[in-house]
């Protein structure tokens, strides 16, 4: 698995990921622990994989690209929305000072919380609608959303940023959309992406 992880890092480098902190974080986090046992052989493929509950663990490239775009260091407090398997939160925790992550599906949240307690004990996992559930922990230097926001960045999230803070969020009409970075009132389109939808509220 260590060899597979090193190959993944080399592949990410060739795909344009150059931030050494992010690459060494990917090199340290055992992605095989975050995928279903059925998919373990594919844990280091550059692809999203099913994690149950109709959700997916994002591809390593999208995790690395989102965290690179966030551009936060060891003194930063970061909110992740869409804990899913917990993999991106674990990579993030290797790069920044503090991570709060929110998952709306209680089953996924409980599983991720148990795994992260073992692998990244400083990560705080909340259950709820990530757009509002972590407001009590705001402001954040960075916010990364790992589910597709419908047509716009939720304004409630911009309110949870520190002045000059950065938000990275996929925005689209359905599962296809654009990864967008927001900072100081300006947005930049980063890449075309595919994500599961950001679902508001905690029911259903």
Preceding peptide of 29 cis, ω within 30°: no
Contact in structure between 123 and 93 (CB atoms under 8 Å) = yes
Contact in structure between 198 and 148 (CB atoms under 8 Å) = yes
Q: How far is the CB of 81 from ligand SAH (least distance, A)?
A: 5
Helices (H), the chain: 2-14, 20-28, 60-70, 87-93, 106-119, 155-158
Q: How far is the CB of 176 from ligand SAH (least distance, A)?
A: 15
Per-residue mark of binding to ligand SAH, 150-189 (x: CB under 6 A):
----------------------------------------
| Whole-number CA gyration radius for the chain | 15
Ramachandran sector of residue 151 (left: φ over 0; alpha: ψ -120 to 50; beta: rest): left
- Any contact of residue 78 with ligand SAH (CB under 6 A)? no
Q: Select the residue interacting with ligand SAH from 67, 72, 130, 180 (CB under 6 A).
A: 130
- Any contact of residue 84 with ligand SAH (CB under 6 A)? yes
- Any contact of residue 57 with ligand SAH (CB under 6 A)? yes
Site residues (vs ligand SAH, CB under 6 A): 55-58, 81-82, 84-85, 87-88, 102-105, 108, 129-131, 146-147, 196, 198-200
Give the residue numbers marked as catalytic.
58
């Amino acid at each position: 698995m260590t060899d597979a992880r090193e190959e993944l890092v080399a592949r990410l480098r060739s795909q344009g990921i150059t931030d050494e902190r992010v690459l060494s974080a990917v090199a340290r986090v055992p992605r095989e622990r975050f995928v279903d046992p059925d998919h373990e052989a594919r844990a280091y493929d550059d692809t999203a994989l099913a994690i149950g509950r109709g959700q997916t663990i994002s591809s390593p490239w999208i995790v690395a690209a989102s965290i690179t775009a966030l551009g936060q260091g060891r003194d930063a407090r970061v909110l992740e929305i869409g804990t899913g398997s917990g993999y991106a939160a674990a990579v993030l925790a290797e790069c920044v000072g503090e991570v709060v992550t929110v998952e709306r599906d209680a089953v996924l949240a409980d599983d991720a919380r148990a795994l992260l307690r073992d692998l990244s004990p400083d990560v705080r996992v909340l259950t709820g609608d990530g757009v509002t559930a972590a407001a009590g922990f705001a402001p954040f230097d960075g916010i990364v959303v790992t589910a597709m926001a419908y047509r716009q960045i939720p304004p409630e999230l911009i309110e949870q940023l520190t002045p000059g803070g950065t938000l990275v969020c996929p925005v689209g009409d359905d599962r296809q959309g654009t990864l967008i970075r927001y900072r100081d009132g300006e947005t930049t389109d980063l890449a075309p992406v595919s994500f599961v939808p950001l679902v508001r509220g905690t029911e259903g």
